[in-house]
Structure 1
Amino acid sequence: MITVGNRKLSVDDFEKLLYQNGKVELDNTAREKVVVNFDFLQSYAQNKVIYGINTGFGPMAQYKISEDDQRQLQYNLIRSHSAGSGQPFSEELSRATMLARLNSLMQGVSGVHVETAELIRDLLNKKISACIFERGGVGASGDLVQLAHLALNLIGEGEVLVDGKLRPANEVYSENGLKPLDIHLREGLGLMNGTSAMTGVGMVNIIQAKRLLSCATILSAITNELMKSFDDHFSEELNHVKLHNGQTKIAAGIRTVLSDSKLIRKRPEHLYHRRIVEAVFTDKVQEYYSLRCVPQILGPVYDTLVEVQRVLEDEVNSANDNPVIDHEREMVYHGGNFHGDYVSLAMDKLKIVITKLTMLSERQLNYLLNDKLNQKLPPFINLGTLGLNFGLQGMQFMATSTTAENQTLSFPMYLHSISNNNDNQDIVSMGCNAALMTKRVIDNSFDVLTIQLFAVVQAIDFLKCHTRLSSFTTKVYDEFRALVGPVLEDKPRYNDIQTIRKYLVNLGATFPLN
């Protein structure tokens, strides 16, 4: 069970919900706080001007709303802002958004009725996901459009996702014995004014980015192994003198993969403890940067992931709506906690380092496929007839193209503000855009690393080095070959690529770089 309220949620909690069939329960103490907070606001709001209860919204906040129209105001807000477009969120993105919003409401400062939290809990536990569209929010007054679609589903309108299919919300509610949410006071604004969509997407991104970094470390290690690299560039002795935690972690990860490899060479045995008589060395004294500098390149990726995770966990455990209802001080505070700059900047940092990771993978792939560089393998690791067959040539085009796409996508959304809402929202975060673009970069990166995995396995077959591989590499090779055979004849490979991509994602989950 994932207990929400009265404790901080972590990335691990999101991973349990999304990938380990976790269930959600509400902490009783936090639930009671939500009840007290709502009762306070209901009493305190009488004869006072409080934004979003007896006023219009945004630049129309100067208009007073009569008591008779206040509930209708909330319904109008939800329905009018359910104006998203593009593709619906996947179920994992939707469920992450719902958990993020639930946790924000359970802080007990949003002034919503406890039925709101209970309904989100029930939907999560029954695997009924809100239909949230990708396009719409600017991430400043929160993810207004995305969260409006969540709110629309909670009042029993629109469509919801069940088992990957969109179905009318009212039908699904009826089948599951659920009652749509009634507006009590400010549930519309309380659901919509916040950063939960960008944060939910961000949580999925950081989970997948950590898996991707593990995969990049594994593939970098195997690439070094097949090229019989020297071990000093990932040694503890070399890396401990550079005082960056990420570099240390990556080097340690490489050593774990290669701990019992018989292919990796020790420099003293080849270059220090014998007399050198050659005028020109046949062996490279130092490997190319894409092999030798892996700890220095992936180390900053590791450190950035740590920072991004901290930002996301701080955000998801925050009250990020407006106004903030403080029943303990008996005050209502108006401000901008819905502004998504923290998440937007974190997502931009994440996509930049993931693009660099992809560039490293693409360079290692190019090294393996270019016989003039590696001087060990045939062109494109072609195991068929040279000239007649093409090996991995077609796959490389996809990897190169996808890497270039990531480079373009890595322009920061954090710096791209457009004033809107009659200039009320005159500087915005574009946080949900940033998070969704980062997801695309991460998805792209898995495609590139998938082709690199094809290449290293194909190289093992050509080199016939199975008995000298590390036990870890042998395990990866055997698992790969159980799914897909060698590339010999030329035939369509897109289904094989998807099969190995799924395997790679799971491989990353089993090799955490702690």
Structure 2
Amino acid sequence: MIVVGQGKLPLQDFSEIIFHQQGVTLDKAALEEVEANYNFLKSFSSNKLIYGINTGFGPMAQYKISDDSLLQLQYNLIRSHSSGSGNLLPTHLVKALMVARLNSFIKARSGVPARVLELLTQLINNDVAPCVFEHGGVGASGDLVQLAHLGLALIGEGEVIYKNEVRPTTEVFAELNIAPLEIEGREGLAIINGTSAMTGIGMVNILRAQKLLSWSVLLSSMMNEIVEAYDDHYSYELNVVKLHPGQSKIGAQMRAILKDSKLIRSRSEHLYNPDNLNQEVFEDKVQEYYSLRCVTQILGPVYDTIHSAGVVLENEINSVNDNPVIDHINNNVFHGGNFHGDYVSLEMDKLKIAITKLSMLSERQLNYLLNQKLNQKFPPFVNLGVLGLNFGMQGVQFTAVSTVAENQTLSFPMYVHSIPNNNDNQDMVSMGCNAAIMTKKVIDNTFEVLTIQLMSILQAIDHMGCRDRLSTASAEIYDRVREIFPVFVEDAPQYKTQKNVREFLETATPFIAPITN
């Protein structure tokens, strides 16, 4: 069980909940603070005008709500904003959204009773995912529409996904003996007024981006092996003099992967030889193409971007992103804009640009591998059959190129795409949830591109017959993937194999040795 409420929720604990089915339990002391915060608000608001408790919302805040309509106001807010459209979010992203909202509530600044947190915990631990749609919130005043669909399920309405079926919430709650939320205060506004959708999705994006980067380092290393590249471009000495931490870390990872490769060559042994001076034209390229030689310089910024985005997202998921902020310590209520998602939106844009660049590197390495005029080593499209009659990896290259092109278009930033709405009350918005969902799409696409690259590398290894000269790390990946993707000579449909290899990339842990430099 992961305890929520004992300090910060780190990225690793979040990962355990989302990807490894770890349950959630709530810290008792933190719950007591939540209840104290709720009781303070009840007392404090009895004779004061406080936004969202006895006023309308947004541009309607100038209208006072009568005492006998206060609770109906909260239900109206949830129901009216349950207006999402498009595809349903996958269940693991809905769980991420709920974990993010739960972790904000447990900071005891939202004025909600402890039973709201307990109900969220029940849904998380029972794998009940409210039906939440991709399209809706503009990312300021929070992810209003996405979180309204969460609120709809919490009050026992709408639909949820349970055991891969979309079912009425009332049915599933009855089956699991879960009591819906009965609103008593500002729970409606508290549930929908935050950045938890973009943050939950963003945290998942960070974790998947980390995995993509690890695979890209490994595949780039394997590419250098099979073309028998020189070792100095990923050396410690070359990379340490460029003062960016990501570049040094990528170089260290490549050295760890390739340390026992029998294919990588030493420049001093092969080129720093006086006999070479007698040649007018060198048979070997003196330097490799950039997609092979500049891996540390290309993936280094990707590493640094993922790292910095992870810091920001971890800060956001551990923040109070409600409005107003209920402060029972200082006996006051503070109105502002902690629901604004600019931090997440900007980091998601940076992340998707970085991952798009990673996919471009993969595509260029793939092109080098499949174009015999460039590599002068392999048959066209690493075709192991009869040239002209068979096609090898020619067909799947189209898919990789098309997918990278989509990534490049999706990389236009959402952060600078604010559209005023809500009677111009929301005149500057973050579009943070859009940014996170588009980044997810770029990550999805990039797994597809790396899948095709990996399949092509394996075909090249079999053409060379060099499995026994690969590094230990590369040979291990070769063996594991060949179990689901046997070597082929005759042409056959590859789409099912691509799906299996992609699932392997999504779920397996790539070999990356500990970084010592």
* TM-score (structure 2 length as normaliser): 0.98
Task: State the 1:184 CA deviation.
Answer: 1.1
Matching residue of 1:403: 404
Match for 1:468: what amino acid? R
Matching residue of 1:296: 297
Mapped partners of 1:271, 1:492: distance in 2: 43
Matching residue of 1:5: 5
Aligned length: 514
Are 1:73 and 2:60 matched, yes or no?
no
Matching residue of 2:390: 389
Unaligned runs of 5+ in 2: none
Cα gap change, 1:105 to 1:510, in 2 (>3 Å) = farther
Mapped partners of 2:388, 2:410: distance in 1: 36
CA contact (8 A) 2:257 2:513 kept: no
CA contact (8 A) 1:304 1:353 kept: yes
Matching residue of 2:226: 226
Matching residue of 1:112: 112
Mapped partners of 2:322, 2:40: distance in 1: 17
Task: State the 1:131 CA deviation.
Answer: 1.2
Task: State the 1:506 CA deviation.
Answer: 2.7
C-alpha offsets along residues 310-339 of structure 1, whole Å, 9 cap, x if unaligned? 000000000001000001111000000000
Matching residue of 1:262: 262
Q: Tell me the secondary structure at the aligned position of residue 47 of structure 2.
A: coil
C-alpha offsets along residues 442-478 of structure 1, whole Å, 9 cap, x if unaligned? 0000000000001110000001112211111111111
CA contact (8 A) 1:195 1:338 kept: yes
C-alpha offsets along residues 117-157 of structure 1, whole Å, 9 cap, x if unaligned? 00001111111112111000000110000000001000010
Mapped partners of 1:43, 1:281: distance in 2: 85
Q: 5 Å matches for 1:365-514?
A: 365-508=366-509, 511=512
Matching residue of 1:153: 153
C-alpha offsets along residues 252-272 of structure 1, whole Å, 9 cap, x if unaligned? 111121111000000110111
Identity %: 61
Mapped partners of 1:513, 1:172: distance in 2: 45
Q: 5 Å matches for 1:58-457?
A: 58-276=58-276, 277-457=278-458
Matching residue of 2:44: 44
Mapped partners of 2:308, 2:359: distance in 1: 20
Match for 1:462: what amino acid? H
C-alpha offsets along residues 265-304 of structure 1, whole Å, 9 cap, x if unaligned? 0011011144321111000000000000000000000000
Mapped partners of 2:185, 2:512: distance in 1: 48
Mapped partners of 2:502, 2:121: distance in 1: 32
C-alpha offsets along residues 398-457 of structure 1, whole Å, 9 cap, x if unaligned? 000000000000000000010000000011000000000000000000000000001110
Mapped partners of 2:398, 2:199: distance in 1: 34
CA contact (8 A) 1:260 1:470 kept: yes
Match for 1:103: what amino acid? N
Mapped partners of 2:9, 2:158: distance in 1: 29
C-alpha offsets along residues 332-374 of structure 1, whole Å, 9 cap, x if unaligned? 0000000000000000000000000000000000000000000
Match for 1:11: what amino acid? L
Match for 1:447: what amino acid? E
Mapped partners of 1:70, 1:154: distance in 2: 18
Q: Tell me the secondary structure at the aligned position of residue 157 of structure 1.
A: coil
Deviates more, 1:238-247 or 1:438-447: 238-247
* TM-score (structure 1 length as normaliser): 0.99
Match for 2:445: what amino acid? N
Unaligned runs of 5+ in 1: none
Mapped partners of 2:328, 2:514: distance in 1: 43
Deviates more, 1:126-135 or 1:482-491: 482-491
Q: Tell me the secondary structure at the aligned position of residue 247 of structure 2.
A: helix
Mapped partners of 2:470, 2:457: distance in 1: 12
Mapped partners of 1:219, 1:348: distance in 2: 25
Task: State the 1:509 CA deviation.
Answer: 5.4
Mapped partners of 1:182, 1:512: distance in 2: 52
Mapped partners of 2:400, 2:513: distance in 1: 25
Task: State the 1:508 CA deviation.
Answer: 4.4
Q: Tell me the secondary structure at the aligned position of residue 271 of structure 2.
A: helix
Mapped partners of 1:389, 1:301: distance in 2: 37
Mapped partners of 1:125, 1:510: distance in 2: 31
Task: State the 1:58 CA deviation.
Answer: 0.4
Match for 1:163: what amino acid? K
CA contact (8 A) 1:215 1:507 kept: no
Deviates more, 1:375-384 or 1:473-482: 473-482
CA contact (8 A) 1:341 1:414 kept: yes
Task: State the 1:504 CA deviation.
Answer: 1.5
CA contact (8 A) 2:37 2:327 kept: yes
Q: Tell me the secondary structure at the aligned position of residue 272 of structure 1.
A: coil
Structure 1 stretches of at least 4 aligned residues deviating more than 3 Å after TM superposition: 507-514
CA contact (8 A) 1:212 1:508 kept: no
Mapped partners of 1:509, 1:449: distance in 2: 13
Mapped partners of 1:321, 1:159: distance in 2: 25
CA contact (8 A) 2:109 2:326 kept: yes
Match for 1:43: what amino acid? S
CA contact (8 A) 1:214 1:513 kept: no
CA contact (8 A) 2:257 2:512 kept: no
Mapped partners of 1:401, 1:508: distance in 2: 27
C-alpha offsets along residues 195-239 of structure 1, whole Å, 9 cap, x if unaligned? 000000001100100000000000000000000000000111111
Match for 2:494: what amino acid? R
Q: Tell me the secondary structure at the aligned position of residue 221 of structure 2.
A: helix
Cα gap change, 1:415 to 1:165, in 2 (>3 Å) = same
Match for 2:464: what amino acid? L
CA contact (8 A) 1:214 1:512 kept: no
Q: Tell me the secondary structure at the aligned position of residue 87 of structure 2.
A: strand
Task: State the 1:507 CA deviation.
Answer: 3.5
C-alpha offsets along residues 12-55 of structure 1, whole Å, 9 cap, x if unaligned? 11210111120101011110000000000001001110000000
Mapped partners of 1:310, 1:201: distance in 2: 15
RMSD across aligned positions (CA): 1.0
Mapped partners of 1:513, 1:142: distance in 2: 39
Task: State the 1:510 CA deviation.
Answer: 5.4
Task: State the 1:249 CA deviation.
Answer: 0.8
Task: State the 1:511 CA deviation.
Answer: 3.7
